[in-house]
Chain A
Amino acid sequence: MTAETAAVVRGRRTLLRHARPSDYDRLHQIDTTVGDRELWRYRGHVPGLDEYEAALWKNTHAILVCELLGDDTTRRPDPSGVGAGDVIGYVHLHDVDWRAGHGFFSIIAATEYRRTGLMLEACFLFGDWFCGNTPLRWLYAHAFEDNLPQFRSAIRNGFFRHLGAYRSRVAIRGVPQDVHLLGISRDDWLTSPTRARFHRRLDHRRR
């Protein structure tokens, strides 16, 4: 299957597609290297590969992997080692409450692709995917205090609304940390100027 046919949504530099069993090794590798904060869903311990699939899919509705398209020079720390088809992270839709019309999602980026803007594009693509493929009205994401700067641009761009912070909600290595709750509303995203700009650029690229 080519990247094009596998794509669920395609951006300028990345595409999102549903996870396949052949992705689990890479997702496990990402999960075991991203650090404590993202391990919250595993309660601080990523299970071994033999138990990983069940843990990954617990309370999960969809896993969309983010794949790099074409040559890209934004990869860190070694721009020369870039290849199309690299899985650079994933978006995880979980704890969906169909009755209420909301759910939670997590964005996990491989450490070498952080601060490249690639996962921000994946966020925008995911926004389109959830609006087009689910009836959910709101999606929420948790962000730890020291991880919040990574979401600043998405908040500034109107993708996320900052809904508040659960003070001292978790202890990381014994130190209490606030957990921020970020939200995306379907109505906000579909009418967002950021989304309009994003699609104008995509259309321009396709022409």
Chain B
Amino acid sequence: MDDSIGDTATTQTDTASWRFAEPSDAGFLYDLAVALDPRIWRFSKHGTAPFRALETVGEYEIIAVLEQPDSGPFGFAGLVDLTGDGRCAQLDLHTAPVPGAADAARSVITEVLDAAFANGQIQHLYIERFDDDPDLIGHLDAFRLEVEIPEFAFVGGRLASRLTYGLSRDEYLTWFDTR
């Protein structure tokens, strides 16, 4: 594969693009966490008070804001929970609860993954979601379901399961070559 892929700070597809978050995006991230509460569990488990939410934003190593040319930011992808040796990380991936946002995210997720794995250290990437969250990665046919925690939390009036998907670097490279 071309090692330079993902080195660019922004990528644009027909419908959506991503860019690194800036301090001025904190408001968007906070609004998104509140709008989705409790679906962005990292925020919600501590409550969504603004001060605490800002601390949670600070836990991310990198945040990519997903946006569309006309309507602006509609979601984010945040790299977090890097292990001490940097081998494993989680990618939090969420979109605003508005029509078209999930489809727009699906159109740009490939570029986001390329950027994440462009960091040569990461050997394994995890993505978590509730069972009734939009599936933003299933169409890639790349990730494997690794853990399913039943009845993890009360979400949307029911006990939702928590799903963890994983993708190793080797699997990513194979997928990259065949896609």
When chains A and B are docked, how far (Å) is the Cα of A41 from the Cα of B61? 22
Asked if A117 CB lies within 8 Å of chain B CBs, one says no
Instruction: Please tell me if the beta carbons of A166 and B151 are within 8 angstroms of each other in the complex.
Output: no
Tell whether, in the assembled complex, residue A166 and residue B84 are in contact, meaning their CB atoms are under 8 Å apart: no
In the complex, are the beta carbons of A171 and B87 less than 8 A apart? yes
Measured in the bound complex, the distance between the Cα atoms of B123 and A97 in whole Å is 29
B173 at interface by CB-CB < 8 Å = no
Within 8 A of A (CB), among B122-139: 123-124, 126
Contact A176:B148 (CB < 8 A) given known A168-B87, A168-B88, A168-B168: no
For window 165-186 of A, CB contacts with B under 8 Å fall at: 165-171, 176, 181, 183, 185
Band of interface residues on B = 20 to 34
Write out the residue numbers on chain B whose beta carbons fall within 8 Å of the beta carbon of A100: 45, 152-154
Known A100-B45, A168-B87: A163·B147 in contact at CB below 8 Å:
yes
Interface size class of A (residues with CB under 8 A): 20 to 34
**Chain A positions 61-105 with a Cβ under 8 Å from a chain B Cβ:** 97, 99-102
Chain B residues with CB under 8 Å of A176's CB are: 87, 123-124
Check if B83 sits within 8 Å of A183, measured CB to CB. Answer: no
B87 touches A164 (CB 8 A): no
Secondary structure of the B contact surface, majority rule: strand
Q: Does B140 contact A (CB under 8 A)?
A: no
| A130-153 interface bits toward B, Cβ cutoff 8 Å, 1 = contact, 0 = none | 000000011010000000000000
CB distance from B118 to the nearest CB of A (A): 19
**Which chain A residues lie closer than 8 Å to B152 at the CB level?**
100, 102, 138
A185-B147 in contact (CB<8A): no
Tell me how far the C-beta of B27 lies from the nearest C-beta in chain A, rounded to whole angstroms. 25
Task: Indicate if B10 sits at the interface (CB-CB under 8 A).
Answer: no
Are A43 and B84 within 8 A (Cβ)?
yes
Q: Which residues of A are found within 8 Å of B168, using beta-carbon distances?
A: 167-168
Q: Are B149 and A163 in contact (CB under 8 A)?
A: yes
Among all A-B residue pairs, the 6 with the closest Cβ atoms: A164-B147, A100-B153, A168-B124, A181-B147, A164-B146, A167-B166
